[in-house]
Amino acid sequence: MFRREKEVIRAVDGISLEVNIGEIYGILGANGSGKSTLIRLISTLLLPDAGNIQVFGDDVVTNSLKVRQVMNRVSVEASFFKRLSSQENLIYAARLYGIPAPEAGRRSQQILERLGFAADRMNEEMEHLSRGMQQKVAIARALLTTPMLLLLDEPTTGLDPKSKRDVQAFIEEIRQERNAVILLTTHDMAEAERLCDKIAIIDKGQFIAEGTVEELIANAPSQNGVPATLEDVFIALTGKGIEEEE
């Protein structure tokens, strides 16, 4: 009998980052590059095999409960009670956070309105809403409280252009109003350029470049006199386009 040795794949390997209060830090990478794994580690959904992760000084392993109390996470895999409306889902979540029912209703309606949700759609069952509208509800749920750290894992994936702009504008408002730390993963170059104060390019679980958009582009050579773009930087460093998977 022959047995194949298991291949060890490091989903995240040797990453080091520090994000300041009020900063939007972007993690730019193709599908399968390790973006979502990193978010799961920070949000305590996965345990690191080595190294340490601290959120405002608290270790995600030894102080996981305290870490969860100061953060919220939005991901493309968000789940809901499909037979409840968007507002009913949000009120339910708010009650779990300990928010009184009247305040939960007011807060959920206010956030949905700011995300461009029409009043007549708030009472529709979730199963009848588009993918984009469900994603808006996921973002609204994360903002029912006032998180000090907001983890946004591909928050605009699958959204139509208008919904994407609505969400991006709301993210900018959150940063201005709440002075929160926002960690954003994306494979959208334009989104990274618009929203992020600093960007790390991730490939095969490792950060291969970090800096502001201007700093990253400044280190890339121009081609035939044409200034480099963020996409040029990404391709030069990874050898592939942003949409390509391993």
**Identity of the highest mean pLDDT range in 18-27, 74-83, 221-230:** 18-27
Residues 106, 99: Cα–Cα separation, whole Å: 11
Mean pLDDT of 70-90: 88
Average pLDDT over the chain, rounded to whole? 86
Fold of 1-70+147-246: Rossmann fold (3.40.50)
Query: pLDDT digits over 82-134, tens only?
Result: 999 999 999 999 998 889 989 999 999 998 898 888 888 999 999 998 888 88
Grade residue 144 by pLDDT with cuts at 50, 70 and 90: confident
Encoded tokens for 73: 């996470």
Characterize the bridge pairing of strands 58-59 and 54-55. antiparallel
**Residues 143/111, Cβ–Cβ less than 8 Å:** yes
Start-to-end CA distance of the chain, whole Å, equals: 31
Encoded tokens for 141: 């749920």
Mean pLDDT of 162-180: 86
Fold of 78-146: Helicase, Ruva Protein; domain 3 (1.10.8)
Characterize the bridge pairing of strands 24-28 and 54-55. unpaired
Encoded tokens for 117: 């949700």
Mean pLDDT of 41-61: 89
Grade residue 33 by pLDDT with cuts at 50, 70 and 90: confident
Question: Domain extents for the chain?
Answer: 1-70+147-246, 78-146
Residue 32 is predicted with a pLDDT of 84
| pLDDT above 60 (res 6) | no
Residues 88, 31: Cα–Cα separation, whole Å: 33
Encoded tokens for 107: 């807060």
Q: What is the pTM of this model?
A: 0.85
Grade residue 214 by pLDDT with cuts at 50, 70 and 90: very high
Residue 1 is predicted with a pLDDT of 44
Angle at 58 between CA 64 and CA 68, to 5 degrees: 35
Higher pLDDT, 245 or 237: 237
Higher pLDDT, 98 or 9: 98
Residue 23 is predicted with a pLDDT of 94
